[in-house]
Structure 1
Amino acid sequence: MFQLKHVYQDPLEDINFTMEKNEKVILFGPSGAGKSTLLFLLNRLSDPQKGEIYFKGEPIENYSITKLRKEVGLVLQSPNLFPGTVLDNIKYGPSLSGEWNDKEGKKLMEYVQLPSSYLNRDVEQLSGGEMQRVSLARTLANSPDVLLLDEPTSALDYRTAEEIEEVLEELIHEHSLTMLMVTHNLSQARRLGDRGLFIADGHLQEDGPFPDMLDQPKTEKLSQFLED
């Protein structure tokens, strides 16, 4: 799906890796390591200072921003919903390309385990967990192949975070999605990931299967990070 070759974008330096279709990858490391920066590069919220990024074998810049963000959905820690109703939010992306069907609203609510009656609810009336579910539904409305998740449960209480995590697991399985998720919660990482990318000091320090790389780190950097 993605291939990065010698990518530089402050604070990242010379990042190289390939991510295959249907992989569930956890991106982790200390604060300020560049994890969110990397997600933004893959969604073209920013472009690298140097290096090449390929998506499905094509240079990422060959895709229009609209097409790329339709196929590569980004869910942030803060839902960032638009003013208006839940329906206004989830139909926004498909409506831009004339692909919205009103029947999709109920289905999307089912995906994220919210009642269909929420479609007409103002987003300001939602709880934090409900907002994050709507944010997921808005991303899924575009039928993406890839989900980029930037700590989507870190601002939620433990119980709500668990519920969102269960929704994510079901969605990824049901839709055969490829996932790249940033999280500081290594227990969550063990549950959701099958591969890990550990970034520190601007470099990809370790790349390996989960949970093996957590139980048997190969680098001093990762060992120290896990101890801390």
Structure 2
Amino acid sequence: MRQEATALPLRAEGLRFAAGGVEILHGLDFSLVAGAPTVILGPNGAGKSVLLRVLHGLLEPTGGTLRWSLPAEAAQRRQAMVFQRPVMLRRSVLANALYPLRLAGLPEAEAAARAALDRVGMAALADRPARKLSGGEQQRLALARAWALAPEILFLDEPTAALDPAATRQVEEIIGAIAASGTKVVMTTHHLGQARRLAGDVMLLLGGMLNAQGPAERFFAAPPTAEAAAFLRGDLVW
């Protein structure tokens, strides 16, 4: 059972990130709170993936502040991240699911790993080499591996990119189940339909700047900025 102390809400003030002399994130101000998924939208090069990596601690901000409700190290231990192309160890499906649990020193790791595989419909594939799975199966395994850790926050970077519609639907169902279990999902996507289906709130990044943030229903029904309206129509030139 999760402890009462929580990492959320997170508050970012003037958040910046630069690399190679180029500023990618420009003074972002926003909050993330517990609840339904936050979906980060924006065109290619907007800074979406970089923002996820900064939030997860894989990249250090070069300006501004990130304030978790717990000390940063404690907050980081309550997080997990799944990448667009998840890394599969040269081991079985079960061994891949077990690895982070054993690394974290969690008790009854094998039982937890098998339960996680069952939740994503992969229990029957436990002995199969992970690297021989299809792209959709690998993404489901990556989600199971992260979910088994019971993270408070789960960052997902384009989790259905390059997947066919059937695999996309399966992954979306798993994301919905993870969110329903109490984990805060923060994800990037290029798919507006997916954002409509999954998002509780939306952030729109344009050129490394936060153009809009708010409840998903309001964002799609009445875009708060001219740029957001153009983005939804597919007319945005940036």
TM-score (norm 2): 0.87
Which one-letter code corresponds to 1:171 in the other structure? Answer: I
Which one-letter code corresponds to 1:112 in the other structure? Answer: V
The residue number in structure 2 matching 1:76 is 83
Distance in 1 separating the partners of 2:113 and 2:120:
11
The residue number in structure 2 matching 1:29 is 42
Deviation per CA, 1:24-70, whole angstroms, max 9, x where unpaired? 11100111010001100111110100111122x2353xx06xx71x4
Q: Which runs of 5+ in 2 are unaligned?
A: 1-7, 18-22
Instruction: Kindly indicate whether residue 165 of structure 2 is the aligned counterpart of residue 158 of structure 1.
Output: yes
Instruction: Kindly indicate whether residue 238 of structure 2 is the aligned counterpart of residue 226 of structure 1.
Output: no
> Is the contact between residue 94 and residue 114 of structure 2 (CA under 8 Å) also seen in structure 1?
no
Deviation per CA, 1:153-198, whole angstroms, max 9, x where unpaired? 112001110111112112221x211111101111110110011101
Distance in 1 separating the partners of 2:228 and 2:42:
8
Which one-letter code corresponds to 1:99 in the other structure? Answer: L
Deviation per CA, 1:118-162, whole angstroms, max 9, x where unpaired? 222111221111111110011112210111111101120011101
Distance in 2 separating the partners of 1:140 and 1:100:
15
Distance in 2 separating the partners of 1:59 and 1:36:
24
Distance in 1 separating the partners of 2:16 and 2:28:
7
Instruction: Kindly indicate whether residue 29 of structure 2 is the aligned counterpart of residue 16 of structure 1.
Output: yes
Name the CA shift for 1:59/1:34 in 2 (closer, same or farther; >3 Å): farther
Q: 1:99 aligns with which of 100, 103, 106?
A: 106
The residue number in structure 2 matching 1:190 is 196
Q: Which runs of 5+ in 1 are unaligned?
A: none
Name the CA shift for 1:23/1:170 in 2 (closer, same or farther; >3 Å): closer
Q: Deviation above 6 Å: which 4+ runs of structure 1?
A: none
Distance in 1 separating the partners of 2:159 and 2:223:
26
Instruction: Quote how far apart the aligned CAs of 1:100 are.
Output: 4.6
Distance in 2 separating the partners of 1:15 and 1:47:
14
Distance in 1 separating the partners of 2:231 and 2:191:
13
Q: Which moved more, 1:17-26 or 1:33-42?
A: 17-26
The residue number in structure 2 matching 1:3 is 11
User: 1:22-171 maps to which residues of 2 (within 5 A)?
Assistant: 22-55=35-68, 57-60=69-72, 63=73, 68=76, 70-101=77-108, 102-114=110-122, 116-171=123-178
Which one-letter code corresponds to 2:16 in the other structure? Answer: Y
Name the CA shift for 1:167/1:87 in 2 (closer, same or farther; >3 Å): same
What RMSD in Å do the two structures reach over aligned CA positions? Answer: 1.5
Partner SS state of residue 206, structure 1: strand
The residue number in structure 2 matching 1:213 is 219
> Is the contact between residue 72 and residue 147 of structure 1 (CA under 8 Å) also seen in structure 2?
yes
